[in-house]
Amino acid sequence: MPRSYAKSLFAAAACLAATSAAASCPNYADYSRTYHEPASEGAFRLSSMRPEPACRTFNSTGVEDAIQRLKGQIWDPDLFRLFENTFPNTLDTAIKWRGVAANNTEEELCFVITGDINAMWVRDSANQIAPYKAVMKSASDDIASVFRGVINLQARYLVVSPYCNAFHPPVEANMPAGGSGGVYSVTPPYDRKFVFTCNFELDDFGGFLQLSHDYYTATGDVSFFGKFQWIYAIQSIMAASEAMRQPSYGPGGEWLKPAYTFQSQTMSAFGTLGNNGMGNPINDTGLIRSPFRPSDDSATFDLLIPGNMMMARYLNSTADIMERLPNAPKGLAQQMRDMADEVREAIKDYGIVTGPHGKRMYAYEVDGFGGRILMDDANIPSLLSAPFLGFLEKDDEIYKNTREFVLSRKNPWYCSGPVINTVGSPHIRPGAAWPMAAIMAIMTTDNDGEIIRSLKELVQSTDGLGLIHESVDSFSASRWTRQWFTWANGLFGQMILDLEQRKPFLLQESFQPIFIDKE
């Protein structure tokens, strides 16, 4: 994500209108910071946060239908307002440009911004669009075109610069770039006219694979994947992943120069890599390095277990697509499955440790030499999200032990207080809980009491603005970061639609601080 650190760095370059719509449309970075009538009818009097229809950046009938349907199902007026504001937020505000490739009018492209910088993050755009799979029934739905456009543009980015994470608008969009990403020294080198920032984060690959899987399973449209650059993107991902599995020392003990290094001028220790841009040494494990975390912060140990879980799951799932493409290179689907199996095996061998509660659990990061860090970060992929990623089942013993640790004060990044109790992130500070983690806690439990408690905390922690913030001080809802965070907003909507399927009766509950009579 282009979060606070990036924001301050590039503030000058970042003053952009929220949408490409009429000049009279407000900048959503400002709009989402102020209150708009009519307020919801509950005690929290949540603001209306949808831009007026003419200012929305994409209209989807499936999404509008879902909002209408849920209106009849959610009893609590504040909970409904939160859903109504958040679920369409990416489509309302972040679809910056749609079009087709200059050399192929069949190839749809969709440029999605994360917020106030005119750049597209591979991981964020995947997560921003993914919640809409719930309303995608076929390849002819309006929303399906957004999925194809994002997958095609991500594929273009990944073919050219698989080690990079955020990119400028495509030339076809004829748009100004969102500034230069700052002062960096990175290998392999990249084209700064094409790339915005080049932090290697394994979940960029995971996000692309997941979105591909989502589109395929929702629409059954396999031929799409054979038409444009998808196969090349997979080859690029496979080659870079293999290079990022290389250990720091060869069999004879000789040092091996890493495939990727990164250094930047920054105030933040998490904004650059130690050891002259190489990070800490890693052993030969079969796991794939992720020098940067899903928060964009640098890793302590490069072998990020949640990112590897995501790769194991989605390389295996998308091998099913590859296998069905007549023009796929021979053996590629099998290579994808093999890598998925090896990574899964390595997670078992190197990623499971004994926690401070004396139980077997997953570590957040390891180095393969015995180094490990026991924590979880709210950003997804996280350890908490392992069942959401489809890597394991909710009732997996080691997952249950891990979850117990993650959602307790044994996790150094767990934040507790009267407003919200959930996981935070070194990306902000201790004591700043991330609502995204409370949403993920709901999606990974069957315990009604826990779900109700988390929903209640989410409803009471928006500072009346009716959007999901990046972080909220666990002692004060008015101290939050990032007013315009479409990823977390979409995830909130996805969670409500998941409850509609799994536990519709919970949507009939009140989340008010006191009894109210709705009539």
Ligand X SMILES: *[C@@H]1O[C@H](CO)[C@@H](O)[C@H](O)[C@H]1NC(C)=O
- Least separation in angstroms between residue 505's CB and ligand X is 32
Q: How many residues bind ligand X (CB under 6 A)?
A: 18
Site track 72-101 with ligand X (rule: CB under 6 A), x = hit:
-----------------------------x
- Least separation in angstroms between residue 468's CB and ligand X is 23
CA 192, distance to chain mean position in Å, is 24
Give dist(CA 420, CA 283) in Å, integer: 39
Of the listed pieces 50-58, 432-440, 444-452, 475-483, which binds ligand X according to CB under 6 A?
50-58
Q: Helix, strand, or coil here: 340?
A: helix
**Considering only residues 330, 370, 505, 515, which one is a binding residue for ligand X as defined by CB under 6 A?**
370
DSSP-assigned letter for residue 138: S
| Tokens matching residue 90 | 């990416």
**Considering only residues 12, 15, 23, 53, which one is a binding residue for ligand X as defined by CB under 6 A?**
53
Is 190 in contact with 112 (CB distance < 8 Å)?
no
| Tokens matching residue 129 | 């669009």
Is 433 in contact with 477 (CB distance < 8 Å)?
no
Q: Is 431 left (phi over 0), alpha (psi -120 to 50) or beta?
A: left
Q: Is 368 in the site for ligand X (CB under 6 A)?
A: yes
Of the listed pieces 53-61, 210-218, 295-303, 501-509, which binds ligand X according to CB under 6 A?
53-61
Contacts of 137 (CB under 8 A, 6+ apart): 62, 218, 219
Report, in this order, helix, strand and coil percent for the chain, each rounded to 5: 40, 10, 45
In degrees and rounded to multiples of 5, residue 293 shows phi and psi of -85, 170
Residues 296-335 that bind ligand X (CB under 6 A): 316, 320
The amino acid occupying position 219 is T
Give dist(CA 84, CA 493) in Å, integer: 8
**Considering only residues 8, 11, 33, 59, which one is a binding residue for ligand X as defined by CB under 6 A?**
59
Q: Is 345 in the site for ligand X (CB under 6 A)?
A: no
Nearer to ligand X, 372 or 403 (CB): 372
- Least separation in angstroms between residue 421's CB and ligand X is 33
Q: Residue 194: in which H helix or E strand, if any?
A: none
Kindly report the number of other CB atoms within 10 A of residue 410's CB atom.
Answer: 15
Give dist(CA 422, CA 407) in Å, integer: 7
Nearer to ligand X, 123 or 344 (CB): 344
- Least separation in angstroms between residue 348's CB and ligand X is 11
Kindly report the number of other CB atoms within 10 A of residue 337's CB atom.
Answer: 18
Nearer to ligand X, 366 or 423 (CB): 366
Nearer to ligand X, 25 or 278 (CB): 25
Nearer to ligand X, 262 or 362 (CB): 362
- Least separation in angstroms between residue 91's CB and ligand X is 9
Give dist(CA 506, CA 495) in Å, integer: 12
Which residue is listed with tokens 């999901």? 468
Nearer to ligand X, 104 or 265 (CB): 104
Residues 211-230 that bind ligand X (CB under 6 A): 229
- Least separation in angstroms between residue 417's CB and ligand X is 38
> Do you know the residue count of the chain?
519
- Least separation in angstroms between residue 342's CB and ligand X is 11
**Considering only residues 48, 266, 268, 283, which one is a binding residue for ligand X as defined by CB under 6 A?**
283
Of the listed pieces 145-153, 364-372, 453-461, 501-509, which binds ligand X according to CB under 6 A?
364-372
Q: Can you list the alpha helix ranges (DSSP code H) found in 72-201?
A: 77-86, 89-93, 122-129, 142-160
Give dist(CA 389, CA 372) in Å, integer: 22
Is 382 in contact with 423 (CB distance < 8 Å)?
yes
Residues 108-167 that bind ligand X (CB under 6 A): none
- Least separation in angstroms between residue 370's CB and ligand X is 5
Site track 4-43 with ligand X (rule: CB under 6 A), x = hit:
----------------------------------------
Of the listed pieces 125-133, 138-146, 321-329, 366-374, which binds ligand X according to CB under 6 A?
366-374
- Least separation in angstroms between residue 149's CB and ligand X is 13
Smallest CA-to-CA distance from 196 within 130, 127, 111, 277 is with: 111
**Considering only residues 11, 54, 239, 269, which one is a binding residue for ligand X as defined by CB under 6 A?**
54
Strand residues in 145-232 grouped as ranges (E): 166-167, 184-187, 195-197
CA 106, distance to chain mean position in Å, is 28
Nearer to ligand X, 95 or 119 (CB): 95
- Least separation in angstroms between residue 220's CB and ligand X is 14
* Dihedral angle of Cα 350, 352, 355, 361, to the nearest 10 degrees: 160
Rg value, the chain, Cα: 22
- Least separation in angstroms between residue 56's CB and ligand X is 5
CA–CA–CA angle 127, 132, 134 (5° rounding)? 120
Nearer to ligand X, 349 or 448 (CB): 349
Q: Is 194 in the site for ligand X (CB under 6 A)?
A: no
Nearer to ligand X, 61 or 185 (CB): 61
Nearer to ligand X, 11 or 54 (CB): 54
Q: Is 369 in the site for ligand X (CB under 6 A)?
A: yes
**Considering only residues 8, 61, 68, 104, which one is a binding residue for ligand X as defined by CB under 6 A?**
104
Nearer to ligand X, 309 or 495 (CB): 309
Binding stretches for ligand X (CB under 6 A) = 53-54, 56-59, 101, 103-104, 229, 283-284, 316, 320, 344, 368-370
